[in-house]
Amino acid sequence: MIDRDSVTDRNAGADGDSVTDRNAGAVGDFGADLDPGTDGDSVMDRASGRGGRSGMGRGSEEDRRLRWRPVSVRARTTAAATLVVAIALLAAGWATVHYVETSLTARVDDMLHRQLGVAAMALRDGAPLPLVDRAVTIRVAAPDGEVLAAPAMTSPGSEPSQSEPGVTASGATSDSASQGAAILGTAEPGATVWGPVGPSAPPGDEKMRRIVVVGPAPMATRAQSATVAMRGEGDVTVTADASTQSIREATTATTRLLLVAAPLLLLLVAVSTWFATGRALRPVEAIRGEFARLTAQNLGRRVPVPRTGDEIARLAATLNDTLSRLEQATRRERQFVADASHELRSPLANVRTPLEVAARYPDRADWPDVAAGALEDLDRLEALITDLLTLARLDTGPEIPLTPLDLGELVREVTERRPPGPTAWTVAVDDDTVVAGHRTHLARLLTNLLDNADAHAASSATLRLHTADGHAVLDVRDDGPGIPPAERERVFERFARLDTARTRAAGGTGLGLALARDIATLHGGTLTVADSERGAHIRLRLPLSAPDPASGPRGQFSRG
């Protein structure tokens, strides 16, 4: 009879390498099935769009869209800022010109109002018509529209203030020409003045003679009028008007100034925006260039983070954090594939080696023992593949539906179905431990915890389920060698083994606690290693849910 263990040991060296090499093809096929739909692409290849034709199609569509906008962000920002400032300057310029025109017009209206009031008072009192401002023209008209008089610095019986040579009057007699000229000395061209009928008029005669000044009237004026009871004429209409030439000149000068200043200001805004935008986008270009040099082989590179502390700096920091997570995920993926390949090669080699030896020496082979050993290794291989597929589904699959279930009842079912073994178990379960969970996944979690305790317990182990602080707490203890504090997190890593004496043939897959923690995290709980004076103490905490009406109260029970 051939000793199967000795055969395995003799082939663990160089022969084992050749055996495992022949199984590399099968392992590679399994690695491609770990993540369905990825076509064997790595995380970085899938992220960069190089992993399939669909990514190339999306890139082509984006390229076509970008062709419609060839102008850079810098140019678009400069154009937008210049356009906004141009619109603002246009509105401000219009408001400025309108304000200047309105202000000057209000001043002219105020001057006309004051002159009209003075003229009306003078006409009522029979006094001369004084001028508040020489730019104002006063006209007095009868109800039938006939112009009776226009302003002068004199009135009937008063002395003329001054005379100007060359001023003539229409309709004046030779005897009164000098007097009319004197009266017209302070009148504007185009105005009508009034005075006595003649030099021999008796005192108290209120009749007036109309004298029209020869000269052009203003082209554009503003006027105000009022009705006044004039001595000797009755009700007359007094009109005060003034030229708007000064208003037009002021608005024209303001407009010309704005037409010169606005383009200069727009040019200054455009140049300032161009350089400011370029300076602000310089870190973005640096980030883009660094990203362009990233590949799956140099994920350790990081983008530069500017010291400005603004949005771009926060973006760069976020990108670096994302790169760190991507690097860790890629490293875990590579390590997972390497570990899975290694773990799969071992049971395959254990199956293949005894079969090859038995086939070479068929007369000396104990075929029932060879078959039993092969089936044992195939069972372990099946368990390993099941764990790998479960981990892959937990990592990439959709969220699982969670329903209220009695965790205590599930603990009883799992512990009662386990076959008797060398470990003496003590199980204590409290009632009212209803959690929101997936029954199959939680059963797998409990099985892994029990298998781990069975593998390391010296003689006994305990399981206790109770509630604390709104959580269902499951404590699993064993009297084995325990877990060092420095290794309490590493035991939850995939393919982690702390017990060097634990062989693959007798031990598990190295995925039990890793899978259990993933399931706990999926349910919103935690799985940690707690302090223990002796052996290992693993604690599971799951949030409590509303109690299931169909489940009644359960008491504690124990089995040894």
Task: Provide the CATH number for the domain around residue 434.
Answer: 3.30.565.10
Question: Is 278 contained in some domain?
Answer: no
Are residue 456 and residue 512 in the same domain, yes or no?
A: yes
Q: Do 138 and 150 contact (CB within 8 A), yes or no?
A: yes
Same domain, 389 and 408: no
Residues 375 and 417 placed together within one structural domain of the fold: no
| pLDDT given for residue 145 in this prediction | 65
Smallest Cα–Cα separation from 42: which of 297, 273, 367? 297
Query: Do 405 and 516 have their domain in common?
Result: yes
- Contacts of residue 250, defined as CB under 8 A and 6 or more positions apart, other chains included, come to 100, 101, 104
pLDDT by residue for the chain (560 residues), tens only, comes to 334 443 334 343 434 444 334 343 433 443 434 343 434 444 444 444 444 444 444 455 655 555 555 678 889 999 999 999 999 999 999 999 999 999 999 998 888 888 888 878 877 777 766 655 677 777 777 776 666 655 443 333 333 333 333 222 233 323 333 333 333 333 443 344 444 333 333 444 433 333 333 333 445 678 888 888 776 667 888 888 888 888 999 999 999 999 999 999 999 999 999 999 888 888 888 888 888 888 777 788 888 888 888 888 888 888 889 888 888 888 877 877 887 787 778 778 888 888 888 898 888 888 888 888 888 888 888 878 887 887 777 776 667 788 999 999 999 999 998 888 888 999 999 888 899 999 989 998 999 999 889 888 999 999 999 999 899 999 999 998 888 888 888 888 877 766 544 344 445 667 888 889 989 998 999 999 998 888 899 999 999 986 544 444 333 333 33
What's the CA gap between 519 and 524, in Å, rounded?
A: 9
Looking at the structure, do residues 376 and 404 belong to the same domain, yes or no?
Answer: no
DSSP assignment of 225-253, as one string? EEEEEETTTEEEEEEEEEE-HHHHHHHHH
Continuous segment of H or E residues that includes residue 193: strand 192-196
477 & 521 share domain:
yes
**Shared domain check, 162 and 180:** yes
Phi (first) and psi of residue 160, to 5 degrees: -65, 145
**According to the model, what pLDDT value does residue 487 have?**
87
- When divided into structural domains, the chain yields a total of 3
Q: Evaluate whether residue 461 is within a structural domain.
A: yes
- Are residues 423 and 523 both part of a single domain? yes
* Same domain assignment for residues 307 and 440: no
Size of the chain in residues: 560
Is residue 254 included in any domain, yes or no?
Answer: no
Is residue 276 one of the residues assigned to a domain?
Answer: no
Same domain flag for 350 and 445: no
* Residues 172, 189 within the same domain: yes
Spatial neighbors of 319 by CB under 8 A, at least 6 apart, are 287, 291, 303
Residue 161: inside a domain: yes
Does the residue 194 lie in any domain? yes
- What DSSP assignment string belongs to 374-422? HHHHHHHHHHHHHHHHHHHHHHHSPPPP-EEEEHHHHHHHHHHHSPP-S
149 membership: H or E segment, kind and range: strand 147-149
> How many Å is the Cα radius of gyration of the chain?
53
Separation CA 453–CA 476 (nearest Å): 7
| Domain limits for position 213 | 124-247
The last residue of one of the domains, among 247, 278, 306, is 247
Q: What is the pLDDT of residue 353?
A: 87
Whether 77 maps to a domain, the answer reads no
One domain for residues 419 and 479: yes
**Rounded CA separation 16/6 (Å):** 13
pLDDT value at position 503?
Answer: 40
Does any domain span residue 360?
A: yes
